[in-house]
Amino acid sequence: HLCFLLSLLYYLKLLKLYLFKRSTDQQLRIKVVYDSSIDNLDPEKKELVKDKLFPRAIDYLQKAFQVRKHAGPILLGRQCATNLYLRKKDDPHRYCQGACAENSYCGPILVPKEHLQQCMVCADNGKYWGPRGQPDGVGILDADFVLYVSGITTERCGQENIVAYAAYCQLEDALDRPVAGYANLCPNMISTQTQEFIGMLSTVKHEIIHALGFSAGLFAFYHSDDGKPLTRRNANGLPPFNESLGLYQWSDKVVRSATRLWDISGNRRLRHDVYLLVTPHVVEEARKHFACPILEGMELENQGGMGTELNHWEKRLLENEAMTGSHTQNRVFSRITLAIMEDTGWYKANYSMAERLDWGRGMGCDFVMKSCKFWIDQQRQKNQKLVPYCDALRSTPLQLTCRQDQMAVAVCNLQKYSRSIPQEYQYFDSIPGVAARDLPYYGGSVEIADYCPFTQEFSWHHSGEFQRTSDCRIVENQPGPSRNYAAETYSPESICLHQRTPFVMEQCTRRIIYPDWGSGCYKISCSAQGLTVWVHGTRHLCSRAGQILNINIQMNHWVYTGSLVCPSCFDFCRACPPEHDPPPANASRSIPLDPCSSSAGLVVTLWLLIINVVPVLVGFLLCA
């Protein structure tokens, strides 16, 4: 018998396996199996994982994807005692040389015996090929994918900022679709803070999507819509293996390389090599998103090392898309991510589940195919905003601004590194206050975004302890009365507004101007009159974008004075009246509040009293 060595990519048997036609796709069914380590977590973390994070993540993914059904339970192949796997020609089974291992694992998780198929061995010098030992278990019923979930402090958890990681561990034989995978949450990184729940939830979704198909290790196993492999197979039924990458080598129907002309500092231009995901739905969605009809595909991450590189979208181009390689802010699962899952050939995407991605939307070919320096220089020449990039050095005091969608206070993440950054990512010809010799040390703080600087939300910490984030919509981010320096309101109805001037807090004998200013969170509402900004219950109607609102209110025994810039009503309200100049200021409301009194200015009040009393006195004297 002719047999072949098989890598650690495991295939499994599906009892009574058959595939339905594409027209009979049904909702994806994911079965979650919790490892005992989850029960050993702190009660609060255990409840978060089992009752909130995974149920919500699974619900989203099951609604987002349909899958070709199979009949019968899922049974996972046993691992071999020697890690040497054999295949027999024209036989889908995987055989162990001599014996199977006592235990089989999916990632770090022990697979229950009842989920395993019978051990298949090649013994007696190749004379015997067949089953040995315990019979098939009952398997996993009524599921298309089984996800094993653990909370184990592994060596990988020791790496910086690793919250969780996941992967597939077995594929079915007919279409190579992953049917088993794992997700491990690093216990010390599980946050039960209310403000961080959305971030934790997006992390769980992100990791499960990796296990379902968005993985460089699976690119070579993608299929076309009609079920044919997009990458050729060798005689052993597997794609060619790329030793240098440690991956099965995909064809150019899935991923291609390209070279970009890349502008850097000093009027220099380099050749910048990228990898592009070029499957049909991804190309279609990427072209639509960026409004670039000549875009060849969606760029994959080229930095971050093993596990990040090639396994995510390029951070520079899709910054807050959930399938980029780091969590910076406001993660969303866009149509482009749903498209790659559809292009695996294993799923059909429900695009109504896609979330709106503003980053890069409609910005054209120059944005998506050239360096951020080129984009920044072009915007400057046009006297336009650098959005989504920025060029304000992050320093003390902070120059606050708003996130691109105006849902969070943000700061430009341009910073100085302790070392010179790679030449192809040196973008600045000048930075105010920075010597020319130091410019190679400056770039955006997110390295995998090609060091491009952009506005980014942030968190406040006190003595190393997390306090709150800058997301305007989270009530728990509301600063306490003694720290609310700009009369802010954090609520589901709040947005980030730019401040024209810093806010001044005054009492009779005290005056505070907080050094970090530029934006803040304020509640808004929409009506037939347009967009209204509310500052501590005081209504301010915005008649047009850019209108300046002068704020003078009393709150928590302080008088607050400052000014805000009106946003466009059309950005936040469904119906808006035509923009027009605001009416002249009401004189009665122009009298500033006196920090030494609960009424308007003390001197003004005394003069009004005298003016009102004089006629009475005159009348009294005339009568006398």
How many angstroms separate the CA atoms of 245 and 77, rounded?
Answer: 26
How many angstroms separate the CA atoms of 302 and 306, rounded?
Answer: 10
Statement: residue 597 has pLDDT above 90: no
178, amino acid identity:
P
20 or 162, higher pLDDT = 162
- Residue ranges of the annotated binding site are 206, 210, 312
10 Å CB burial of residue 479 (0-12, 13-18, 19+) is middle
How many angstroms separate the CA atoms of 269 and 261, rounded?
Answer: 6
| pLDDT tens figures, 531-570 | 999 999 999 999 999 999 999 999 988 999 999 999 999 9
Given the candidates 3.40.220.10, 3.90.132.10, 3.30.230.80, 3.40.109.10, the CATH classification of the domain at 255-366 is 3.90.132.10
Task: Give the residue carrying structure tokens 């047009």.
Answer: 544
Q: What is the pLDDT of residue 590?
A: 58
Check: CATH 2.10.55.10 for 386-462?
yes
Between 65-74, 222-231, 282-291, 612-621, the lowest mean confidence (pLDDT) is in 612-621
User: Do residues 10 and 98 lie in contact, with contact meaning Cβ atoms separated by under 8 Å?
Assistant: no
| pLDDT tens figures, 399-416 | 999 999 999 999 999 999
% of the chain at pLDDT higher than 70: 90
Statement: residue 2 has pLDDT above 80: no
Average pLDDT of the chain? 89
How many angstroms separate the CA atoms of 247 and 218, rounded?
Answer: 9
Statement: residue 5 has pLDDT above 80: no
The phi-psi region of residue 59 (left if phi > 0; otherwise alpha if psi is between -120 and 50; otherwise beta) is alpha
User: Do residues 205 and 333 lie in contact, with contact meaning Cβ atoms separated by under 8 Å?
Assistant: yes
In the residue annotation, 506 being an active-site residue is answered as no
| pLDDT tens figures, 426-462 | 999 999 999 999 999 999 999 999 999 999 999 888 7
| pLDDT tens figures, 84-119 | 888 777 777 788 988 999 999 999 999 999 999 999
How many angstroms separate the CA atoms of 413 and 423, rounded?
Answer: 19
Between 4-13, 114-123, 243-252, 414-423, the lowest mean confidence (pLDDT) is in 4-13
Q: What is the pLDDT of residue 322?
A: 97
Statement: residue 11 has pLDDT above 70: no
- Residue ranges of the annotated binding site for Zn(2+) are 206, 210, 312
Task: Give the residue carrying structure tokens 């971050």.
Answer: 304
Q: Residue range 302-311: average pLDDT?
A: 93
10 Å CB burial of residue 469 (0-12, 13-18, 19+) is buried
State the pTM of this model.
Answer: 0.88
Statement: residue 21 has pLDDT above 60: no
Task: Give the residue carrying structure tokens 């093993």.
Answer: 306
Instruction: Pick the catalytic residue from 207, 321, 342, 488.
Output: 207
- Classified as helix, coil or strand, 17 is coil
Between 437-451, 507-521, 576-590, the lowest mean confidence (pLDDT) is in 576-590
Q: Which of 428, 440, 435 is nearest to 263 (CA)?
A: 428
> Phi and psi of 159, rounded to 5°?
-70, 155
Residues 6+ apart with CB under 8 A from 304: 312, 325, 326, 447, 448
Statement: residue 24 has pLDDT above 60: no
User: Do residues 548 and 542 lie in contact, with contact meaning Cβ atoms separated by under 8 Å?
Assistant: no
Q: What is the pLDDT of residue 605?
A: 43
Q: What is the pLDDT of residue 612?
A: 53
Token pair of 540, please? 């301010």
* Alpha helix stretches (DSSP H) within 332-442: 335-343, 365-369, 372-381
Q: What is the pLDDT of residue 115?
A: 97
Statement: residue 355 has pLDDT above 70: yes
44, amino acid identity:
E
* Alpha helix stretches (DSSP H) within 353-511: 365-369, 372-381
| pLDDT tens figures, 167-176 | 999 998 888 9
Residues 6+ apart with CB under 8 A from 123: 97, 98, 132
| pLDDT tens figures, 39-50 | 999 999 999 999
Q: pLDDT tier at 622 (50, 70, 90 boundaries)?
A: very low
Q: What is the pLDDT of residue 599?
A: 47
Residues 6+ apart with CB under 8 A from 599: 593, 605
Q: Residue range 508-521: average pLDDT?
A: 93
Q: pLDDT tier at 585 (50, 70, 90 boundaries)?
A: low
Distances in Å between the Cα of 127 and the Cα atoms of 3, 98, 135, 379, 558 are 12, 12, 21, 72, 90
Statement: residue 299 has pLDDT above 90: yes
Statement: residue 18 has pLDDT above 80: no
Given the candidates 3.30.1950.10, 3.40.30.10, 3.10.170.20, 3.20.20.70, the CATH classification of the domain at 3-212 is 3.10.170.20
Token pair of 613, please? 């009393």
Question: Element (H or E) spanning 610, and its range?
Answer: helix 602-623
Q: What are the sequence ranges of the domains in the chain?
A: 3-212, 255-366, 386-462, 472-582
